[in-house]
Amino acid sequence: TMMAESTCQLMALHADGVLSLINKHRLIQEITSEYAQQFLRCVHSARPPTAAWPTDVTIPFTEFGDILLSMKPAGQVAVGLISLENAQKSLLAKLSHEEKYEELKQEV
């Protein structure tokens, strides 16, 4: 049994479903491919003296933000806009901060 050290969300995906989705949506395929490439780069570079060895539990520099910032700018923008779109659906229904949403959108 594992315990989270901070608030988190866990998502389990079936490989067949992911592959089916990737084959149907070019943008998802591109984002997933680049994310995977950057993740693998982190695995390969995780070794002393610059980082700790990877374990079954943790791999240095593979937090979502770390990976996102290592992606190409186009991928960063795509993820940012998709995130804003989803945030708008949930947050604006509760808070009605259209102006704040537009500020974030311009920043991305």
What CA–CA distances, in Å, run from 92 to 87, 89, 99, 106?
Answer: 8, 6, 10, 17
User: In a 3-state reduction of DSSP, which class is residue 98?
Assistant: helix
Cis amide leading into 48 (omega within 30): no
What CA–CA distances, in Å, run from 27 to 74, 76, 77, 103?
Answer: 11, 12, 12, 24
**pLDDT at res. 47:** 95
E-strand ranges in 7-101 read none
Statement: residue 98 has pLDDT above 80: no
- Reading the block at residue 56, the tokens are 């079954």
The pTM (predicted TM-score) of the whole model is 0.72
Statement: residue 53 has pLDDT above 70: yes
